[in-house]
Structures are given as structure tokens and as C-alpha cells.
Structure 1
Amino acid sequence: MNLTSSETSQSAPPRAVRGAPEAPPAAALGVASVTALTEKLQAYMNAAELKKVKDAYRFSDEMHLGQMRKSGEPYISHPIAVAEICADWKLDVQAIQAALLHDVMEDQGVKKDELIERFGPQVAALVDGLSKLEKIEFQSQIEAQAENFRKMLLAMASDVRVILIKLADRLHNMRTLEHMSAAKKARIATETMEVYVPIAHRLGLNSIYRELQDLCFSHLHPMRYRTLQKAVKAARGNRREVVNKILEAVKAQLAAANIRAEVYGREKTLFGIYKKMRLKQLSFSQVLDVFGVRVVVDSFADCYLALGYLHQLYKPVPGKFKDYIAIRKVNGYQSLHTALAGPYGTPVEFQIRTQEMHRTAESGVAAHWLYKTGDQNLSDLQQRTHLWLQSLLDIQQQTGDSAEFLEHVKVDLFPDSVYVFTPKSKIIPLPRGATALDFAYAIHTGIGDHTVGIRINHEPAELRTELRNGDIVEIQTDVGSRPDPTWLSFVRTGKARSAIRHHLRTVNLTESMELGHDLLQQALTALNVNPDLSEVTIEKLLKESSAKSMEEIYADIGVGKRMAPIVARHIVGLMDAPPALSPAEGPSEPKAVTIYGREGVSVQLAPCCMPIPGDHVRGQLRRDQGLLVHTVDCAVAKRQRAKEPPERWIPVVWAEDINRRFDCRIRLLTQNEKGTLARVAAEIGENDANISYVGMDEDKEHTMKSLRFTIQVKDRVHLAQLIRALRRVAGVNRVERERT
């Protein structure tokens, strides 16, 4: 039963040829049509389900009537092609209906209520998740794009079919991108490479992952793509004899061992070859593993048996064996990888897997729609995918805006992973480059927030320590501990970053609002504008900034998310006639922000120079980290001021009534004599200062010692008195304040 009598010619993915290297994904494209779609659906759908698909097709055809693609084809050809890709994964009837209808809301203005009435709430929800936001006002194209991604990813979190259909949609658009302008090609290809390619990898959709990479490569670097394509074609002919010789030898070896296996060659994607050439600075002739061999066997045990016989046939290359069966990749991928020195010494990569592993490797989470029962591996992958999707919701709850949400998600989509262990031997996958603190947040947000110490392989380590495969990580917590803003400078995962930023935004909110209020008033005064804003101006500002209240804007300024001078200039633009200050009021030099030394969320003292009352200081506004106070002669601050816009640096002064102590570093050069350290420590105590850290170094001749102290003092006068007293201690040659 055909859905319609008309057919539309479309591009389809190439099919691998057994016994020969697979063709590049974008090579020879076949034909996709309504007839082909019907045949695929008939293989796994009953008559009632096919009727529902037919109804969806007819409605979509009617809605898109008269609409054409850039190629000149009727627009309905695109939804048919998307549905056919979904049919390859054997998605259910609701997903196929949504694939056919995925553009009717966005392009033709069909309302969700109408879709609910015609096709049911689930199909309507899928189509709604696939549709871009209505034409509401955004401050920039980037913000609009980020908000659309956020909507799609959150819809995916509740139903993974949303992203499967979206990936099919993006795949067909990329296959037919040649009709777009050069600028649009570059924008769409870049967006695909940054977001959709990693999502396909994360969901285990390797065939789409590889094809999208090559398609992006062909549009972003067309000359390089064509040059490499010609080189691979020539190499294919030159190496055919070697590849065939390897395939025949492997088949004979496994047959002699009574191991039933499918053995076929596979070719690296053009982007894979290009990436290796760039990464290792190689020419094409130096990339020896352009071709590989895949061995698909019947059982788990046969994988390891086949590995043993292959190692007898060809010598393994040291350090090139990876067991992704015992420890699967984060996207559920399982295979044994080994590199062997084939004929003439050419290294050849072998992948060994079962049929079930192969199905999961190619289709990932999409392989589950018809295979949901009795398979432990697949259910485990479903559970992993569910946990990742749930983490999107966690990040969403802690994230302030769409761009930040997309930033966090992109971080977690990087394909390379490290696998570390809890003390109870549970495996935790993390992105490559993740730190011990990322591990703590991966276990639970509450554990990450209260982390005070880390042990890696039973040895103490810093929170910023980068983890390696096989590390055993233990977390030490304290209920009184809270996230430090400096953690944002080294954590790697989206979950950790969003949790820390959420804490910084919500804790000490009053302090952030007060700081933001002072900064905005200061910025308005500098523009000769009365800081007492009218209700009309406030209403306009809230509408254009998407903020709910002025308190929210003050808080955003206080934590560095918005810049006070930029907000002030925006306010001036909203005013019909900005009320100027009276001559007595200004304009004048910007009023300095008074600080009390509270090392909380909004105001922190820089750890590089450790300012104390009495030091001349300047404030640095950092995004989502509030105000960081440096001494004016701090070397770190001077380097950063040269790189940052001047509005990020504001005048600050110490309050007069500070009643607390501040950390400060001092360094003493002393004689290497018995009792010197005791005399120095006693003198520090007698001068009413506390010691919080002591370090010691000796010179090569063991005649001098360098003592480093972190001490707590009241102010600069107190420190000067202490330094004078320490210089009088026997055995002390020099005392100085130390800064990094």
C-alpha cells in the first residue's frame, strides 16, 4: 500500500558493500521516495499504523502545497526523506507521523491544538518540540539560536524521539545543502558540527555521526575535501590488493578456528583522515590506517577468541589495544580495537564485535525501538541515555539563560571520555580533561558543593587535578563547605559549571543586588543622568532585557553577568529626554564602591595579591563571579587589564569600620640554625597575628632557609609592625611581603 501515487526523488545514504571498503557517506546517493518509505514501513507496521502515517502524509502534503525548496523540488519531498531516515531506524508510528509533520507548525502556522485533535497529544508534542520558537524578540541572532536549541534539547529530555527526528531532518538538509548561499552553507555546517554531530555521537548514532562530519567538512573546506577525496580514491586502487589479501587471510584463519564471522573492509571517513593529518601534522601518504577491517561474530566469547587468532596471524602494534567491551564508551559503544602489522608492515586497525554490538554501534539509542525486551546491553544503554537526558533537566534548572545552557551542554557533548572508578569500583565516565571536582559533581550536586578534599589512587590531590583512565577517586566533604567562585576556572563538565554558577547566583543574593545597584547608579552618574529612573523607563528596560524586576538586573550586574556601563547606556537610549543631573550633582569622577572585605559571593579578595585594608585597590568585574578586588600594583591584574574592556575595572575603597582579619603572605630568609622557626613563630604570636600556613625551602649548601607563611593581620599598619618585629629576630636576614 503506497501512501500516494506520486514519487519524489531524494538522496539516501549509501550502503556498505561486504568484502570491500565502505564508500564515503556522501558518495553515491540513491533514491528516496514515497514508495520506498511505504516498503520500509510495511516491514514492521500493521495496516492500522500505516493508515495513520498515510493521514499524516496527506495533511502535510496539503499544508505544504505550493511551497518549494531551494532546489526547485516540492517541499513535501523533504518531510518524506526525513520520515524514510526514521523508518531505517524502525521508529514507531507516532515518530513517523511527526517526521512528516515536523515543519507544518513553523512554516504553515498550524496550531498545536489542531494537531492534537487530528493526530493525538503525543504526535503534537513531538512536532512542537521540533518547531522553532515563535517570532518573539531576542537581543541577538545568537540568543535566538540558543533559545531554540534549549527548547529542542529539553523536549528531547522528555522524549528522545524529538532529537532522532531532528537529526534525520538535519541529515537530509545537509545532504541537499548545495543549493544554499556560501554564507548560509558555512553557518549551517558550523552549527551542525558544533551541536548535532556531538549529539549523534552521544546517542550512539555512529553512521549519522560519520556522515554529518563528512558533509560538514565538504561545505566548510570544499577544496580540501575534494583534494583528499581524490587522494583516497587513488589510494583505494593502489591498496586494493593488500586489503583483499588481508581479508582472505583473516577469513581463512577464523574459519580454521571454527569461528563464524562476517569480515569486511571499512574505510576511514574523509574527515577522520583530515583530523588525523591535522592533529599529528602528517601528509596523506603518512596516514597508513586509511583502511581497516571489521569482524562481526556471533557471541561475546567469540570476540576474545577471534582476537587471539588474529594476534597469531599478524603481530599486534604495542599500546594500540582497547577493550571497549569490558568498559564500554559513554554512548554504549562496544568493540575490541586492535592494530596489527599487516603485510609489508602496514598497520591495520581491526574492530571485533557481536551482531548486537554492531547494531548498537551503528544506530545507538535508535536501535531500541523494536528490540526492547530481554537484552541487558540495550536496556543498559537506555538507562545511560535516560541519565544523560535527566542531567539536561538538572542543568536547565540551575542555568540563567539560553546561551549559558547551550554552553554547558556543548561541554558535555565532547566525544572523548575518561573512565574513573569510585572506591566501590563503580565506573564513572567523564569528558576528557575533567577534574577531580567534576567527578564529585558527577556523583551528586550536593557532594560537589560540599567537597573539601580529594584522594586519587589513595593519595591526596588538588581539586583541579585532571583525571586519567583507571583513576580511583575518593571525595572528602564538609557540610559547612560551599562552592568557591575560583572553581569555575578549572571545572570541565556542564553539570559542575551550572551547579557552581547556580550557587553563586542564589547565595548572598542581597549582597549582589546591593553591589549591582551601586554600580548602576555610578554608571548613570558618569553619563550625567539622574539615577532615579521613572516607571516608564524601568518598564521599557525590563521588557527589552527579559528581566522580571530591577532586582534581577541589579543581581546580574553584581555577579558580573551584565555590565553596568552597558546597561546605563541602554537606559539612556530608552529615554526620550534623559534627565540630566544638576550642576551640584555632577557629572563627576565615578564614585568608588566601598568594600568591607567579606569574602562571599559578590565581593572576593584576589588570591594572587591578597589585598588587605590600607592597600590601594581596584575591582575587577567577572562574569558570574562578582567583584574581585586586586591591589593596584598586582602583576596579574595589570596583565588582565590590558586584555579586558575598561568598564570591567572599577574604583573601590576600603570601609573605615572593618573588624576582621585578612590573609597575607610573607617570606623570610633565615640562617639554617636550630630554633629559628620556633623564634619566628613566637614573634608572630606576640604581635597578635595568626599563622594559617607554613612552608620551608633550603638552598643547595644548606646554609639558608626560606620560610613562607600565610598569616592573618588586621590591616597594612599591623603587617608593617609585624615585619619590623620579625627583622629583629636572631637568624632572620630578610622579611618581605610575598605576592604571585
Structure 2
Amino acid sequence: MGFPGLRTASSGLLSAIKVGSRFGRRAKSQQNSSGATQALTSAGTEPEQASITELQKIISGYMPKKDVARVKEAYKFSDQAHLGQFRSSGAPYITHPIAVTEICAGWKLDADALMAALLHDVMEDQGIPKTELAEKFGTDVAELVDGLSKLDRLDFATKAQQQAESFRKMLLAMARDLRVILIKLADRLHNMRTLGAVSPEKRRRIAKETLDIYAPIANRLGLNAVYRELQDLCFEAMYPNRYSVLHKAVLAARGNRREVLTKIFDSVRAALPAAGIEADVTGREKTLWGIYRKMTDQKKSFSDVLDIYGFRVIVHTLPECYLALGILHQLYRPVPGKFKDYVAIPKLNGYQSLHTTLVGPYGTPIEFQFRTREMHNVAEQGVAAHWIYKTDDVSLSDIQKKTHSALQSLLDIQSQTGDSGEFLEHVKVDLFPDAVYVFTPNGKIISLPRGATPVDFAYSIHTDIGNHAVACKVNGEYVPLRTELSSGDTVEVITSEASRPSAHWLNFARTGRARSEIRHYLRTVRYDESVAFGKRLLTQSLHELQIDFPDNDDPTWDKLIKESGAKSREEILADIGLGKRLAAVVARRFTADHPLLETTAAHIDVVSAARAAPILIQGNEGQAVSLAPCCGPLPGDEIVAGIRVGTGLVVHTADCPVAMRAKEREPDRWIDVAWDHNHAKHFLARIDVTALNERGVLGKIAGEIAQADSNITNVTMTDDTSEAFLLSMTVQVDDRKHLAKVFRAIRRVPQVRRIARLKGNHQANAAHH
């Protein structure tokens, strides 16, 4: 259907509404360039006989004849290698590599990539050596097949650790050559399309893995057509009954709303040409998975999810995008807060489009998207749009630069993360580009995941800025580091050389990079501190046995390292500091090479005196020594300490009920400790203050605390009675005497009725006015 000045794609929306050709799940993912459409369509069903006729048609349109010949040679080799092998559906196995290659050809990948797609299973399934592939088809093809084979050999299992390790290796392969992941995505897409031939349990496992890992990667690379189709295929495999019910509901709703959609299309058909804009207008429908997620996340019924239909307006130039938007805003009333400009600020994966939601006839909300043809190609095919495998002398496109940056970010996380499970946790966050866009003080745009904080912002700029962040300004005002950022914020991070990452940052750090950098720092610092503290504990145990600390070349160290499986002497000391080994047990190992210890009365007195000497606590030992939050010990309190595996020494007050119970269970893990005369400053103490509910009381109390050289780090206020209120505060003090000084200062406020120091859920040292 054609109209003056308005070019409608294919048969137009009107006929689409009548026959439903543009509002189906499979059709939705096929709105690529003509080659991609052919590829996706031809791969959508399993061919009965192996043929590369369709593949030849696609590649002949963009590839030189010599490269077409090379691809045909790879097909012949693969066909021969897979001879006699069949898929679960009963089709010849070669139909799978052909279908995968057709998808890759739709993205216009180069000859080497298509050859690797045809050959991607020959090493794994048929044992063809890499050297033979390199000799026949070149080193590049052999490397691609080898990378894909390694991934497939590590077949994902249900165990999270195996899945995580496999994913880590896949990341490294795709970072070396992006074509690896493009072929892998095409492979997974065809497998998902033909998933009906496998058992329901395997179907669900593969679908879950695809939804968790491959669909987000497709989204991050901008392959939106693949992303949407994978989501719906996973939905169908994981929840077949829900999928069927929702599919029928959408078909029914499509019929019910045909009149509305037709009326909107007719209005757009008349308005755009009248303004001199030539455009392709197509209908679009949300994926079933997207509708299902909206229903579950927002706890809505299907009848409440109104915006399941939309229109896409594709114009020639960028100014026409904004002009078309303005015309339709005059035609229908826009919904406030529903306009998004992804042209000025593209998504992380390079996606650009204008989005707006308009209230159509009968109050139906309809989403419109406006983009140029180039933006549309990138939106549908992302990094694969107009793919040419870049060499050093050809500049990368913007989308490929963004992809390279994204992969580099993931590689940074990989380099800082030791555990593959932790790595997968970090990366999964970064694969979902639901982003906020904030500005540096110089006006540079930084993209961060939704929910990101100034800590994430700091690490996105540079690791050193993150590691030394101490405060933050958002839009010129100081805010806590845990504040969630919003699009449009201008963020400035204040740093200090004395500042270091804190473990509690992990409670609000959102990005994988920030979390991995914080954990890397804490691991490194904890190790060094644990080695030093372990040495102190071992030294004390050796002194109890009247043995000097052994030199590095003492043969007992080598025996301990060999028998324990440790890598070094420092690792043994770190294990002692972290409570994984008991210092007394390790110390006894050094008695074998010493003369028999004396048993005279004088010697026993010396040993007893050594055992009575406590470990001195300063309070600034770092990760190796922690102060128990249940009782909050301060210098001046009598203290005890227990060694907790993986944590190190935990210091409690001597009267702490938690410590008493733990000491009864494991007395061997408790040692004598005392405060060092030169202890640290700025310990945290929790106090409750009950005061009369009068104007200005809070300010008076805060002023007295400041006069006592203390600082309030946290405060909450609740009504105790109608006449009084309760202030729960955390204050910084140097020791028990300093806390007493703070108490005396607070008592000077006439309205204060009661002060109490809190130890966990127990109150102590209550002071009444």
C-alpha cells in the first residue's frame, strides 16, 4: 500500500493488522536488512535435506567470488566430516552448521567467519586436528574453530561453578576475536529454535542458561533481533503453559484493538507526508517475555498491560526524527515522563532512537520509536551491522569502539577476580544495560547500571579514584557515597590519599568493576595484614616454648609447606592470622629440632609468664583484627578475643554474652588480649539518649557532642512517649574515658533524661539524669 510521500514497509501496517504478519514473535525478529531476513527465515525451520543454495544467495550479494568458493570448500569438508551424524530431530547434522552460517551471513560476516561457522563442530565431534584445518583453510579459520571447540568441550552443567568457569573462558575467547561470540550466538539461536527435539529437563536447563548469559550478551552487543527472539524462545521452553496462555491472549487482544491501530496508522499516514516527511512506518509488538516480565514485576494482570503495541517510524535524516516526533506530539497527547532520547545519549550497546508514548483513541497508550535507517540497522544488528572484520589500517566504527570498551571492562574484572563464581556474579550485572547517564564536572557522559552509586562512578573513571574516594558531590551538594545516582546528575568525587576501600562499600556498589576492585583490594590488604598478625600470634606461641622465631631457611618451614599444601611461608602465617591454623599447633612443630625443654621450677615460671603475656590490640590492625559489633569494645574495656576461621581475630568485651557462649564451645580458639597503650583513635560507640520533646533539643545535644571533640556518624529518632523521644546515635570516641566525657557533655542539656551505652541488644553503663 503506497501513499504520496509515505513509503510503507512491505504491504504496510494496515494489511499487517488484518493478517497479523508483523505482530508475530518470529516475524518480529526478522525485521533486519534483506540478507539478515533471509538468513533468519531460512534458519527458522529444520531443512529436510542439506543444501547451501540459500546460503549461496545471501553471500553472493556481498562477497567476492573467490571468497564464495572458499566457503563452499569449507561446506564440502564439513559435510564429509559429519557424514552419518544426525541431530536429535533426525535431520542430518550438517543442516545445523549450514543454518548457523546462514545467520552469520545475514550479518555479513567475512569469509573466515562463515567458514568457521560451517566447521565449528568438526574438531569437537569428529576429532579433526587444528593443524589440518590450518593447512586447508588458514590460521585464522583454525583459531576461530579452536576457540569455539574449547567452549563446546566445556559443556555447561547445572553446577554453578562449572557454568561460571565456562563463561570465563568464553569471555577470553571473544575478547581475542569478536567473531567467536557472534558465531556462538548464531549457534545458540539455531539450537533454541530446534529445542523441541530434546527432553523437557534439558530444554529448561539450556533455556535458563541462554536467558542468563547468551541473551544479555546479544543485548550488550546490540543484536536486538537475536536478543528478543532468544527471550521468547527461552520463555516458551521454560514455561510452556504460561507462554501458550499469553500467546493466545495477545492474539485475542490484537483482534480487539485492530480498529484502534488502524485509526492511528491512518492518522500517521496523513500527518507525516503533509509535513514533507517521507518515512517507513511499521507496527511493532512487545515480546511475550517482555509482557510476562512486566506482569510479574509490576504484579499486573494482562488486561492492565496496555502498551503492548507500538509503531516504528524510520526516516532519512536525524533532524527528521525530531520533526516527526513533534508532529505526532501535536497529533496525540504524550504521556508525561515517557519520552526518552537515546539519540543524544545512546545506550551502552550503541542503540539510538527516540521513544515516546502517546495516548491514542479510546485512551490506549501507544509507543512510538523514531530513527534513521542507519540507526535501525544498528538497533537490529548492533556490532554486526554492515560487518567488515577490521584490520589495523581501518578505523573502528562507533559501535565497535563501544563493544571493545565493554569487552575491555569485562577483561578488567576478569584480571581482578580469582573465583569464577564471583566473576560471573560481577559480569552478570554489567551485561544488563538498563543504564543511567551522569556527567563528570567536565561534561563527559558516563553510563552506569541503574542503581549505581558514586562509588561505581569513581571506579568507572579510574581504579585509584575509587580506592581513594572519601566523599562525593552530586549537583554541587555533598551526598553519602551510598546515594543512588539519577540520569542527568553531575558527579564529583573527592579523594584522599589516606582513604581506602571499605568492606561495607560492597553493600551498595552496583557495577561488576567496582565490586571486583573493592574485593581485590580487600583480599590483598587482608593477606598482608594477616601475614603480619599471624607472625605476632606465632611469635607469642614460640615464646611460650622458649623458642626464638625461626629464620626463613629453617628446614621446618619447608616441611610445613610441603605437608600442608601451602605455597609459601607467608601463606602459613596468613592462615594463622585468619584462624585457619592454630599458632600453638604450628609452634610445636619447631620443637623437634630443639633440645629437650628444661623442666626446672625456674623454667616453668618463665613459660607461665610468657603464656600470661597477652596479644596487644591497637584497633588499627585492619582486616586481620576486627571489633565485634555485638558489644563494640573500646580501649579501657576488659577484652577477650577469639580466632574465627577466615576472619582472623575478633575482639569482644570480657562480659559479652556472645563471647562467653563461644568460649565455652571452643576454648582452644580464644587467647588473652589487652589494649596497647598506643591504641588507635576514632572508635565507634552506640548510645541511646532519651530527652524531652522540645524545640531545638537535637541541636543542643549535637552541639555538646561536638564540644566534647566527638562526631556523630549516624542518628535515628523515634517517639518514646508524647512528651519524650529516643535518639539512637553512633559517635566517634578515642576510648572509654572519652565516651565518659561525651556522656558528661550530653548531661549538660537540661531536657536529657537518660543516657545509655549500647552493647548489641544489651544496655550498659546507663546514666540517669
TM-score surpassing 0.5? yes
Q: Tell me whether 1:712 sits opposite 2:733 in the alignment.
A: yes
Residue from 179, 200, 205 that aligns with 1:187 = 205
Q: Which residue of 1 aligns with 2:229?
A: 211
**1:245-292 deviations in Å (ceiling 9; x for gaps):** 222221121111110000111111111111121122222222222221
Q: Which residue of 2 aligns with 1:25?
A: 26
Contact 1:599/1:605, CA 8 A, preserved across alignment:
no
Q: Which residue of 2 aligns with 1:72?
A: 90
What is the letter of the counterpart of residue 381 of structure 2?
Answer: S
What is the letter of the counterpart of residue 178 of structure 2?
Answer: V
Q: Which residue of 2 aligns with 1:455?
A: 473
Q: Secondary structure at the match of 1:131?
A: helix
What is the letter of the counterpart of residue 312 of structure 2?
Answer: R
Instruction: For 2:619 and 2:139, locate their aligned partners in 1 and report how far apart those are by CA, in whole Å.
Output: 56
Q: Which residue of 2 aligns with 1:603?
A: 625
Q: Which residue of 2 aligns with 1:383?
A: 401
Alpha carbons of structure 1 residues 26 and 602: separation in structure 2 relative to 1, 3 Å:
farther
Contact 2:469/2:494, CA 8 A, preserved across alignment:
yes
Contact 2:474/2:491, CA 8 A, preserved across alignment:
yes
Q: Which residue of 1 aligns with 2:596?
A: none
Structure 1 stretch displaced more, 415-424 or 457-466: 415-424
Contact 1:368/1:378, CA 8 A, preserved across alignment:
no
Q: Secondary structure at the match of 2:471?
A: strand
What is the letter of the counterpart of residue 177 of structure 1?
Answer: L
Deviation at 1:564, TM superposition (A): 7.9
Q: Aligned runs of 1:33-432 on 2, under 5 Å?
A: 33-132=51-150, 141-370=159-388, 379-432=397-450
Alpha carbons of structure 1 residues 38 and 266: separation in structure 2 relative to 1, 3 Å:
same
Instruction: For 1:730 and 1:350, locate their aligned partners in 2 and report how far apart those are by CA, in whole Å.
Output: 63
Q: Aligned runs of 1:493-572 on 2, under 5 Å?
A: 493-513=511-531
Structure 1 residue ranges without an equivalent (≥5): 1-14, 521-531, 569-591, 685-689
What is the letter of the counterpart of residue 270 of structure 2?
Answer: A
Instruction: For 1:106 and 1:675, locate their aligned partners in 2 and report how far apart those are by CA, in whole Å.
Output: 73
Alpha carbons of structure 1 residues 378 and 210: separation in structure 2 relative to 1, 3 Å:
farther
Q: Secondary structure at the match of 1:132?
A: helix
Instruction: For 1:627 and 1:16, locate their aligned partners in 2 and report how far apart those are by CA, in whole Å.
Output: 72
Q: Which residue of 2 aligns with 1:525?
A: none
Q: Secondary structure at the match of 1:195?
A: helix
Q: Secondary structure at the match of 2:369?
A: strand
What is the letter of the counterpart of residue 57 of structure 2?
Answer: E
**1:644-672 deviations in Å (ceiling 9; x for gaps):** xx99x975763465630451425566898
Q: Aligned runs of 1:687-698 on 2, under 5 Å?
A: 691-693=710-712
Residue from 740, 749, 756 that aligns with 1:736 = 756
Q: Secondary structure at the match of 2:448?
A: strand
Instruction: For 1:503 and 1:230, locate their aligned partners in 2 and report how far apart those are by CA, in whole Å.
Output: 53
Q: Aligned runs of 1:583-602 on 2, under 5 Å?
A: 597-602=619-624
Instruction: For 2:464 and 2:265, locate their aligned partners in 1 and report how far apart those are by CA, in whole Å.
Output: 53
Instruction: For 2:388 and 2:699, locate their aligned partners in 1 and report how far apart those are by CA, in whole Å.
Output: 78
What is the letter of the counterpart of residue 341 of structure 1?
Answer: V
Deviation at 1:622, TM superposition (A): 9.4
Structure 1 stretch displaced more, 138-147 or 458-467: 138-147
**1:272-314 deviations in Å (ceiling 9; x for gaps):** 1111211222222222222211110100011111111112222
Structure 2 residue ranges without an equivalent (≥5): 1-8, 17-21, 29-40, 539-554, 586-613, 761-769
Instruction: For 2:256 and 2:705, locate their aligned partners in 1 and report how far apart those are by CA, in whole Å.
Output: 77
Instruction: For 2:198 and 2:559, locate their aligned partners in 1 and report how far apart those are by CA, in whole Å.
Output: 44
Equivalent residue pairs, number: 667
Residue from 673, 687, 690 that aligns with 1:654 = 673
What is the letter of the counterpart of residue 25 of structure 1?
Answer: R
Instruction: For 2:367 and 2:384, locate their aligned partners in 1 and report how far apart those are by CA, in whole Å.
Output: 27
Contact 1:132/1:148, CA 8 A, preserved across alignment:
no
Contact 1:595/1:655, CA 8 A, preserved across alignment:
yes
What is the letter of the counterpart of residue 24 of structure 2?
Answer: A
Residue from 467, 471, 474 that aligns with 2:492 = 474
**1:2-57 deviations in Å (ceiling 9; x for gaps):** xxxxxxxxxxxxx9974223321289945664211111111111122122222322
- In the superposition, the TM-score normalised over structure 2's length comes to 0.76
Contact 1:670/1:676, CA 8 A, preserved across alignment:
no
Larger radius of gyration: 2
Q: Which residue of 2 aligns with 1:587?
A: none
Root mean square deviation of aligned Cα: 4.4
Alpha carbons of structure 1 residues 249 and 107: separation in structure 2 relative to 1, 3 Å:
same
Instruction: For 1:30 and 1:135, locate their aligned partners in 2 and report how far apart those are by CA, in whole Å.
Output: 26
Deviation at 1:506, TM superposition (A): 1.7
Structure 1 stretch displaced more, 692-701 or 50-59: 692-701
Q: Aligned runs of 1:643-682 on 2, under 5 Å?
A: 654-655=673-674, 657=676, 659-662=678-681, 663-665=683-685, 666=687
Instruction: For 1:490 and 1:160, locate their aligned partners in 2 and report how far apart those are by CA, in whole Å.
Output: 32
What is the letter of the counterpart of residue 142 of structure 2?
Answer: A
Alpha carbons of structure 1 residues 190 and 137: separation in structure 2 relative to 1, 3 Å:
closer
Alpha carbons of structure 1 residues 501 and 344: separation in structure 2 relative to 1, 3 Å:
same
**1:391-424 deviations in Å (ceiling 9; x for gaps):** 1221111111222221111011123111111111
Alpha carbons of structure 1 residues 518 and 242: separation in structure 2 relative to 1, 3 Å:
farther
Alpha carbons of structure 1 residues 54 and 125: separation in structure 2 relative to 1, 3 Å:
same
What is the letter of the counterpart of residue 322 of structure 1?
Answer: K
Q: Secondary structure at the match of 2:26?
A: coil
Instruction: For 1:515 and 1:368, locate their aligned partners in 2 and report how far apart those are by CA, in whole Å.
Output: 59
Q: Secondary structure at the match of 2:135?
A: helix
Q: Secondary structure at the match of 1:604?
A: strand
Q: Secondary structure at the match of 1:169?
A: helix
Contact 2:618/2:680, CA 8 A, preserved across alignment:
no
Deviation at 1:503, TM superposition (A): 1.0
Alpha carbons of structure 1 residues 317 and 720: separation in structure 2 relative to 1, 3 Å:
closer
Alpha carbons of structure 1 residues 447 and 241: separation in structure 2 relative to 1, 3 Å:
same
Structure 1 stretch displaced more, 208-217 or 122-131: 122-131
Instruction: For 2:136 and 2:523, locate their aligned partners in 1 and report how far apart those are by CA, in whole Å.
Output: 44
What is the letter of the counterpart of residue 23 of structure 1?
Answer: G
Alpha carbons of structure 1 residues 652 and 733: separation in structure 2 relative to 1, 3 Å:
farther
Contact 2:110/2:389, CA 8 A, preserved across alignment:
no
Contact 2:278/2:316, CA 8 A, preserved across alignment:
yes
Q: Which residue of 2 aligns with 1:576?
A: none
Deviation at 1:333, TM superposition (A): 0.9
Alpha carbons of structure 1 residues 721 and 477: separation in structure 2 relative to 1, 3 Å:
closer
